[in-house]
Structure 1
Amino acid sequence: MTLSIPTLQTERLTLRPPKLEDFEHWAAFFASERARYERGILPRSEAWKVWAGDVALWTLRGYGPFGVEVRETGAYAGEVGIYQPDGYPGPELGWFVIPEAEGKGIAAEAAQAVMTWARRNFGWDRLINIIDPNNHRSIALGQRLGGVIDPDAEGESPGDVVIVHDLRGLA
């Protein structure tokens, strides 16, 4: 099997295959208090295992995380992609941005590109977000992207907020 991870372009961003250097940003994020409502604060060794597992999704499932860069500068801004570790109820659209990239619409722009890519490449009708109920910013972003909270949808843990995105309107 030949693996080909695409590169996506938006007006301001490049979504590209993950690079080893991305892990340093990922590890810093997940070592910080900001990760509390994501996968939780992780020691570096555990962060490596989770990040490597996410990157391996490209080989195992044909989708996974994209590294996000600002086109104008090439600066790393975060990660947006489709995640589905074993036991997940379906493909999940997920994101994080580094502190310097927060509040600039980067996660929204990248997530919209990933949703369109998923619809075109897999023909999926929907993607979900699985979000900790205390992660108000991610819940708001999921809704800004057109998602709807489905209180009956299965999450990863009891109490998760599950947002469903209807992809049928995307070309």
Structure 2
Amino acid sequence: MTIPTLQTARLMLRAPKLADFEHWAAFFASDRSRHERGPLDRVDGYRAWAADVALWTLRGYGAFGLDDRATGAYLGEVGIYQPEGFPEPELGWFVVPEAEGRGYAAEAARAVIDWVRTSFGWPRLVSIIDPANSRSIALALRLGGVIDPALPGVDPGDVVIRHDLRPQSPGDRA
């Protein structure tokens, strides 16, 4: 399986690499990860990270490492997650602290949505978000998602945001 490289004006979305784990481990060891499966110790973090990376081989999609095109700095990851127990493919993201609030996650998520739309023909993606994670909920809504209480989450109370991927006709955009 060849993992694509996607580019936006400021970002390169690329295959995960082992060096990414150090950033991932730091994020998931911190309290910032409390809405994202964490906090996790290094061993459990590695298991979760490796399982996410394996999605590329097992399912043909996964998370992209996210780099600043100008500096090469690692900024986080954005992609499609579907570990065991998830009801369907999920659009998700995280950025390192120094990258927060700069629109990187939104820019990368839009690129991933476009890639999924052209690559898979799926009718939708979902974002499954802890209700206390107001920043991620706001981002998913800014991306055009709609809260859909009829769709299942993973944990009780999850906010499930539906991202429609089907082409819309001009009359559908009222």
Question: The TM-score by the shorter chain falls in which range?
Answer: over 0.9
Give the Cα separation in 1 of the matches to 2:167 and 2:137: 21
Q: Which residue of 2 aligns with 1:93?
A: 91
2:141 to 130, 140, 143: 143
Give 2:17's aligned amino acid: K
Q: SS at 2:128's partner residue?
A: strand
2:68 aligned residue? 70
**SS across alignment from 2:138:** helix
Report whether the alignment pairs 1:49 with 2:58: no
- In structure 2, distance between residues paired with 1:98 and 1:145: 20
Q: Secondary structure at 1:19's aligned position in 2?
A: coil
Query: 2-side partners of 1:158 and 1:103: how far apart?
Result: 28
Root-mean-square deviation (CA, aligned residues, Å) is 0.9
> In structure 2, what is the equivalent of residue 133 of structure 1?
131
TM norm structure 1? 0.97
**Match of residue 118 from structure 2:** 120
Give per-residue Cα distances to partners, 1:28-73, cap 9 Å, x unaligned: 0000010011112000000000000000000000000100000010
1:20 paired with 2:37, answer: no
Structure 1 residue matching 2:131: 3-state secondary structure:
coil
Quote the Cα distance in structure 2 between the aligned partners of 1:137 and 1:168.
26
5 Å-filtered alignment, 1:25-36, equals 25-36=23-34
Structure 1: unaligned runs, 5 residues or longer? none
Q: CA deviation at 1:5?
A: 0.3
Q: Residue 58 of structure 2 aligns with which residue?
A: 60
Cα separation, 1, equivalents of 2:52 and 2:41: 17
What's 1:80 paired with?
Answer: 78
1:108 is aligned to: 106
Runs of 4+ in 1 over 4 A off after TM superposition: none
Q: 1:160 matched to which residue of 2?
A: 158
Which whole-Å CA distance do the structure 1 matches of 2:47 and 2:36 have between them? 15
Q: What secondary structure sits across from 2:167 in the alignment?
A: coil
- 1:87 Cα deviation from its structure 2 partner: 2.0
Q: Report the Cα offset of residue 125 of structure 1.
A: 1.4
Paired residues, what number?
168
